[in-house]
Structure 1
Amino acid sequence: MPQHGYNQPPQPAAPQPAGPGPDGIDWEAEAAALDAPQARPAVVEPEPEPWADDEPEANQEPEQDSFFGGQDDSRSAERNRKEKGKKSGRRNRGACLVVALVLLGGVSGAGWWGYGFYQDHFGPPPDFSGAGAGTVQVEIKPGPGEQMGRTLVAAGVVKSVEAFTSAFTRNPKAGTIQPGFFTMHHQMSGDEAVKLLVDSAGGDALIVPEGKTAAVTYGMIDDKLKLAKGTTAGVASAQVAALGLPPYANGKIEGFLFPTKYSISQGMKPEDLLKQMVANAIQHYQALNLDAGAQKAGLKSGYDVLIAASILQAEGNNSADFGKMARVISNRLNTDVTQHKLGMDTTLQYFLGRTKLTSKEIDDGSTKFNTYVNTGLPPTPISNPGEDALKAVLNPTPGNVAFFIAMSPTETRFTDSYAEHLKNVEENCTAHNQGFDKGRGHCK
């Protein structure tokens, strides 16, 4: 029985017999062959085909060195290594170029994005430069600057709403911009657009002053619309039934061309403007409730209020005096101080179409517009009065004054005494180097 103690001396290994082993392989012969490199057969590599460089790298066999031997120093191996190095260099240079382009593209893209982000969030709004060119008419309606900006962008006047609103905020006079039609230019800067709106003072418009007659207003319309003289008068006569006059006007337009500012659009026709004026007048008269106030003022109807206001507007120089002048008219119509006669130059002057009157014309009572001879009011208004005159007739200043005379554009003298009135008239005639007719109470 074998012993397993550590004090047993080691036994020498039995020599292996020469020749094939139990597995049939002669291991000593194999080892000797490996130790003799000259015995290995040389590997002859074929010359590379002309198209070898064009083949993909994946299809080429990798270069193999002997596992146990050194590097193959044959000519063919050296040539393969050089070709491989050239291809590797080309691949490396191409890869570097691609990476550089990608990096450059990334930097450029990031820069462009950053610039766009800055412009969107911190830069000035898109804007044109200069005063623009060409013309375009734009209607500016009542509203804030942003609303105006949207209108101008849609018309091609400014580049962005923000550019206009920024300029609107910077201009201290922007709050004076009025609604209306404005002739502007294409591609204006925001600042130039705001400046034009401010300087235009309401844009393309016709301003009809208070107290103008229909004939004078027709001429103003012709001039503004660039029409031949007499065009608007002809339209008013031919189309009077279609202008919207109320029945009590009896087809007479005088007194219904309300004095105010009217926006003028391109290609506007005179009948369109006349309709606006009539509609504006009716709106104001209804708002003032002329019919209800007539009786309180000692008049028969709202139309009489309009007629009285038209006389007051033609006679007066200063609206501050309108209340007293309205009382003079009321006292002359409703008391015996002048036997219910107005005795106003302006009514006859309107009928005759001139300011110079003769004694014969003053004595001729054939027309109701002669208020020296005929009692009461003339048959129609003699001008187109404004609100101040209308309100004065409805609410005349209390008192007994029955006479007045304008001594100057800024001074009107009132009195309830006819004798005192004659003295004022004589003084006025002398100041204007005119004689005085005491019997008629007029300058010669």
Structure 2
Amino acid sequence: MTEYGQGPGLEPWHPEDPEYGDQGWAGHEAQQGQMPYAGDSQQYQQVPQPQYPQYAQQQQGQHPQGQQAQYPQAQQHPGQYPQTQQYPGQYPQDQQQPHQHQQQETYGGQGQVWDTGQMQYAGVPQAADPYAGADPYAQQQTSGYPGETPDLYGTPEAFPPPRPPGRRHLEPEEQWQEEETKADEAADSFLAGGGGADDGDEGDDGGRGGRRSGRSGGKPKKRSGMACLVAAVIIVGVVGGGGYYGYDYLKGKFGAAEDFAGSGVDEAVDVEIPKGAGLGQMGRILKDAGVVASAQAFVDAAGNNPKGKSIQPGIYPLKKKMSAASVVEVMTDPSKLHVLTIAEGMRNSKVYEAIDKKLEKPEGTTKDIAFREARNLGLPAWANNDPRIIDPLEGFLYPMRYDLKKDSTPESLLKQMVKNATDKYTELGVEGKAKELGLENPLQVITVASLVNAEGKNHDDFRKMSEVVYNRLKKTNDVTNQKIEFDSTYNYVKNQSEINFNLTEAKAFVNPYNTHNVRGLPPGPIGNPGEAALTGALSPDHGGWMFFVSVDENKTTFTKTYEEHLKLVAEFQARQKQKNGG
């Protein structure tokens, strides 16, 4: 879109270009066709008017030379703006009213004239406009009477009058002022309660005219202080909120984790750590229980403790609001863990004591329940098949760790232990292998496993000791006459764990469980064998072993003959005397 009056031809656009069409405003004289007038040094060029030939002939008839002698008209040429001339004696009114002279502007150097319609010549008759109804934007013959030109800018719908080139480029500034004013009005309206633009718009001129005073040269409305305050509050809120979250993120990322101090308040809580839980999950569980202030504090404390990575799953008796370091100290102490661990080979008498202690029951509570409720605890049908059995649950309290819960009871623990043992025996196929091993029933497999678990130290020992048991049970055994002669059976009857005891007294002690006195296996197991002892009993070494001696605490030596065995016994007795200072 071009400026008003811009012709279709190509021409320089920038005002500083020497060929720019509006330089006539700067007062430069025309340099083209000259037309002398008396007493006037200025020269003019007649503008050709091809659009209206009839009118041109009429003018030529009146003025043969194509000029208007009586009423000289300011002529135009490309790049020149016309200057209205005055001739003495012809129009005295012009001198009295110079401010009413017609102002004409030429745009684009195309000879097109735009009349501002603001001129009135006193005493000059107004002739009819021969171009009424013609296109006001088409090129027109410049009339000798400016009043004949239609007023193109007097109606409300008209475009504003053309402006001199020096002021054409001020429009962006005015638009900015108007936009600024509108922005301030919107802010004021919002702060005033959400009123629209109509609030306060009515002034002396009514409607929106008062708000557009900036176009008329009035001072632009200053920016509202309240609007600035709102903007400042918004900026501070955004920056402040972002700063807070940024600080919180950096603190959580690089700062010290939130932690409590001390060993906690006087409010106990049992926390259960599931199997397979890592330190992070443990920390979250402890935080949810109110024990630690943050999971990260627990992770950091566990990392700083040499035993931190050895924390086991289970239930821990803790307190609320404990420091992370004190929590780690408790959880790395097995004695503080709220669990019950049954060691491999442990006797039932020790298991009952441990349950009473962990559940804070009176001594003997669990044992009484075991004997009274034995038939209701889930034992297999082949268990407790000998009336001489001392404890019906012996060998069926499977050794492992048991997590104690708030609702744990002696009976519930015993049931869980019996179930675990029965499941394991079924898994290993104990019932089907009893006959393959030359035994009378599956219970004897468990009994053999309990014997080797009490005497041996590792799986290799278990297999060789099982071979010793099976060889001594054979009817062809004329060395021990089918006696097992394990010290562990004598200790079981005596409810002790002694290595040095009087062998003569042991052989004289009559009891179905004392294998130094009776032939064959005892009536039932003497402990609760673990999986290694069970597999050792199910798959003996088959090395023909008949004797063994524990030379030291870490090694057991096996022999096939009695003579080799006596030598090992002599070495063992000598070492024991030296150890005791004898």
Task: Give me the TM-score of the superposition, normalised by structure 1.
Answer: 0.67
Q: Which residue matches 1:350?
A: 492
Q: Which residue matches 1:138?
A: 271
Q: Could you tell me whether the CA contact under 8 Å between 1:168 and 1:194 is conserved in 2?
A: no
- Structure 2 matches for 1:11-410, cutoff 5 A? 96=225, 98-99=226-227, 101-119=229-247, 122-124=250-252, 127-131=257-261, 133-134=264-265, 135-145=268-278, 147-158=281-292, 175-187=309-321, 192=325, 195-196=328-329, 199-200=332-333, 203-250=337-384, 252-266=392-406, 268-334=408-474, 335-337=476-478, 338-354=480-496, 359=504, 362-363=507-508, 367-410=511-554
Unpaired segments ≥5 residues, structure 2: 1-60, 72-88, 93-198, 205-221, 385-390
**Worse-matched range after superposition: 288-297 or 328-337:** 288-297
> How many Å separate the matches in 2 of 1:188 and 1:101?
48
Question: How has the CA–CA distance of structure 1 residues 185 and 282 changed in structure 2, closer, same or farther, with 3 Å as cutoff?
Answer: same
> How many Å separate the matches in 1 of 2:400 and 2:556?
26
> How many Å separate the matches in 1 of 2:404 and 2:577?
44
User: Could you tell me which amino acid in structure 2 is paired with residue 114 of structure 1?
Assistant: G
After superposition, give the CA deviation of every residue in 1:220-269 in whole Å (9 maximum; x if it has no partner). Answer: 22222232222221222222223222222228101112222222234532
Size of the alignment, in residue pairs?
358
* Greater length-normalized contact order (CA 8 Å, ≥ 6 residues apart): 1
Deviation at 1:328, TM superposition (A): 0.7
Deviation at 1:169, TM superposition (A): 8.1
> How many Å separate the matches in 2 of 1:247 and 1:12?
144
State the SS of the aligned residue for 1:228.
coil
User: Could you tell me which amino acid in structure 1 is paired with residue 403 of structure 2?
Assistant: S
> How many Å separate the matches in 2 of 1:330 and 1:430?
30
Query: Which structure's residues are more often helix, by fraction?
Result: 1
Question: How has the CA–CA distance of structure 1 residues 168 and 223 changed in structure 2, closer, same or farther, with 3 Å as cutoff?
Answer: closer
> How many Å separate the matches in 1 of 2:553 and 2:303?
41
Q: Could you tell me whether the CA contact under 8 Å between 1:158 and 1:193 is conserved in 2?
A: no
Q: Could you tell me whether the CA contact under 8 Å between 1:176 and 1:198 is conserved in 2?
A: no
Deviation at 1:318, TM superposition (A): 4.9
After superposition, give the CA deviation of every residue in 1:43-86 in whole Å (9 maximum; x if it has no partner). Answer: xxxxxxxxxxxxxx979998xxxxxxxxxxxxxxxxxxxxxxxx
Question: How has the CA–CA distance of structure 1 residues 168 and 316 changed in structure 2, closer, same or farther, with 3 Å as cutoff?
Answer: closer
Question: How has the CA–CA distance of structure 1 residues 60 and 231 changed in structure 2, closer, same or farther, with 3 Å as cutoff?
Answer: same
Residue identity over aligned pairs, in percent, reads 36
Q: Could you tell me whether the CA contact under 8 Å between 1:158 and 1:187 is conserved in 2?
A: yes
State the SS of the aligned residue for 2:550.
strand
Q: Could you tell me whether the CA contact under 8 Å between 2:298 and 2:328 is conserved in 1?
A: no
Deviation at 1:310, TM superposition (A): 0.9
Looking at CA atoms only, which structure, 1 or 2, has the larger radius of gyration? Answer: 2
> How many Å separate the matches in 1 of 2:458 and 2:69?
149
Question: How has the CA–CA distance of structure 1 residues 256 and 123 changed in structure 2, closer, same or farther, with 3 Å as cutoff?
Answer: same
Q: Could you tell me whether the CA contact under 8 Å between 1:174 and 1:194 is conserved in 2?
A: no
Deviation at 1:173, TM superposition (A): 6.3
**Worse-matched range after superposition: 251-260 or 166-175:** 166-175
Residues 1:422 and 2:566 aligned together:
yes
Q: Could you tell me whether the CA contact under 8 Å between 1:213 and 1:382 is conserved in 2?
A: yes
After superposition, give the CA deviation of every residue in 1:195-225 in whole Å (9 maximum; x if it has no partner). Answer: 4576245932222222221112212222222
State the SS of the aligned residue for 2:515.
coil
User: Could you tell me which amino acid in structure 2 is paired with residue 280 of structure 1?
Assistant: N
Q: CA RMSD in A?
A: 4.0
Question: How has the CA–CA distance of structure 1 residues 162 and 344 changed in structure 2, closer, same or farther, with 3 Å as cutoff?
Answer: closer
After superposition, give the CA deviation of every residue in 1:302-335 in whole Å (9 maximum; x if it has no partner). Answer: 3211101111122234554222111111110124
State the SS of the aligned residue for 1:249.
coil
User: Could you tell me which amino acid in structure 1 is paired with residue 410 of structure 2?
Assistant: P
